[in-house]
Each structure stands twice: as C-alpha cells, then as structure tokens.
Amino acid sequence: MAKDGRHSRALNRKSSSFTIILAILVMMSFVLLMLLSLGILSLPITSQHFPKANDISSLIRSSQRTDGLGERGEQWTEVLSWEPRAFIYHNFLSKEECKYLIKIAKPRMKKSTVVDSKTGRSTDSRVRTSSGTFLRRGQDKIVSDIEKRIADFTFIPVEHGEGLQILHYEVGQKYEPHFDYFLDEFNTKNGGQRIATLLMYLTDVEEGGETVFPNANRNFSSVSWLDESVECGKKGISVKPKMGDALLFWSMKPDATLDPSSLHGGCPVIKGDKWSSTKWMHVGHHHVKAEQEILSLLGSLKMRLEVGESGSFEPSRPCTLHVENRKYN
Ligand SMILES: O=C(O)CCC(=O)C(=O)O
C-alpha cells in the first residue's frame, strides 16, 4: 500500500515537472517567435549575405569560376550609377587573362585615333593621347572565352560586338570626355548605334587614370567608395582602375534614345601606367572586317550568303550560298 502511494506520488511529481518543462518550452518558443517577427533577432544564415534591394550582386556572386584562362577571385557586381546606367563587375578577368591581352597587343600598339564623323576614318587627335590596337573578334580561344563572358553578362550577343580594343596610357596620357554613341549615319551602318560599352582594366594604376562620368547623377549610386578627391572626376563619378575589374555602361536608355549622361573619359595617368580593354556593342549584328570583305566580294559576284537565324558568320556553322537562282549548302 505504502509502496503504491509512494509510486503514485512519484508519478504525479514526474508528470507535473513534465508539464512545467513543456509550458516553459512553449513560452520560450513564443518569445522567440515574437523576437523574430519584430526583427529583434534574426537567423544567422541570412544575416550575413542578405542582399540589399539595389544589390544585384546576388545574381552573380559566386565563389570562383574557371571558364577561361587562370583562376578568378571572388566575383560580385555593384551599381555605380543609374544615370548613366553603369555597373562594376569585380574580378571579371583573371590576372592571367589581363597579362595575356597585354602580351598579344604589345607588338601592335599604335598611337590612338578617334573616328571622324564625316568620313568614318580614324584620325589623330589631341583628345585621346593613348596608344592602342584592335584584336580580331574571336581571334583565339582565350579572346573568345572573354567575349562569351561579356555576352553572358550584358545579354548582348557576341556578334553585336566590335573586336576588343586594347589601350595603353603612360604618365600624362588621357582620353577627354566623349560619347561612345555616334551622331552620324556613316558609323551606324554596320550594326546600328553603339548601345553599351564594357571597359576592362588590365592593370592597377598607381595614381590617376580614373574613368570619369562628368554628367553622372551621384544621388543614385549605391557604391560606398565614390572618390571625392579625384580632381579630374570631381564633378561626376569616377572609377579607379583595378586589374581584372570591368565597368559596363549603357549609351542608350531603355527607351532606345541616346543617353547624354553616358559622357565619359579617362583621367590623365599621374603615376605608373594604365592598360585597359574596351568592348563596344551595337544594337544589331556588327560585321567584322573579314566578314565585310567576303560579303562585299560576294555582292559584286551577284552571290548572297544566308547565315541562319543568329545572323552569325562563322566557319563552323552551316550556311547557304545563293548564286543567282541556285543554292549551295
Ligand atoms: O580608359 C578609360 O578609362 C576610358 C576609355 C574610353 O573612354 C573608351 O575606350 O571609350
């Protein structure tokens, strides 16, 4: 009997302490939920990497990518400005790719020219004092990989791009502010207007050499490091060259009108030297030199080449040659 009583008391004690523990757990969960819903507490997995509303880095940020020559460091993008629309893609190129582009361009560098708006010919200019050269679009596997990466980032097909231009600025050399879009008909015949530019920095620059947008509206920039101290870029926004980084900006607005806020230039190099590479992209297919020569030769022979839906002209893709009424595949 006494044994039974002790047993049932022990059972009662056990069940009441179980009820108390359960009640405490329910209360703690309730308090925790309250703190989470009020934002006083947050879960550790989201607190470090949660993107801001205007941070498109979440689309791109990935550890390391190896779709080209060498290893690229961590990649992320930043909105530099909405007027003009300009973005920075950090570590777009690997160190090896930067060095490779400089190496293949070096033996062919010539004093830079600007395009004459009446004749479309290249002319010497005091506006641009750097030296430069053009690479052929798709000239080798490394260049093709970079061009494919540019197309993936910009959503502009490879075939809309001009060949990469490599530029070299020594101390005192600069590129005065200018537009990349054309105001004449001659230069828009091949592929239409230039819609966007990707500028890739192939070296760091000790001092000077910033790319500057004098007409940019600083209010809409989300970068934290806007450099106020750059004399040449005081009025607008300037970007300090960093090896491997790429700057994308649009010369046309989404409504297809030209964007005057895309005015930009290269500040004089003060110390060290600057290497960069420019990819100009058009609204339509931009035929490169060899293509144009073949197409005009065919035209003069009354022949026409059909290159398929992409409009791309590459030896590996099937095409149809029209000679008067006959077709050759
Ligand atoms: O080198 C720079 O920072 C500017 C280059 C440029 O304006 C261009 O290539 O159109």
Instruction: Write out pLDDT tens, residues 139-175.
Output: 999 999 999 999 999 999 999 999 999 999 999 999 9
Domain ranges (residues) in the chain: 82-289
**What backbone phi and psi angles, to 5 degrees, belong to 141?**
-65, -40
Distance 139 CA to ligand 1 centre (A): 22
Q: Is the CB of 278 under 6 A from ligand 1?
A: yes
- What pLDDT band is residue 202 in, cutting at 50, 70 and 90? very high
Distance 243 CA to ligand 1 centre (A): 15
DSSP state of 110: E
Q: What are the start-end ranges of the H helices in 112-231?
A: 141-154
What is the tens place of the pLDDT at every residue in 236-265? Answer: 899 999 999 999 999 999 999 999 999 999
Q: Which of 178, 111, 101 is CA-nearest to residue 145?
A: 101
Ramachandran area for residue 186 (φ above 0: left; ψ -120 to 50: alpha; else beta): alpha
For the full predicted model, state whether its pTM sits above 0.85.
no
| Best residue among 80, 113, 211 to mutate for probing ligand 1, ranked by most atoms within 8 Å of CB | 211
Q: Is the CB of 180 under 6 A from ligand 1?
A: yes
Domain 82-289, CATH: 2.60.120.620
User: HSE-up of 316 (CA within 13 Å, CB side)?
Assistant: 1
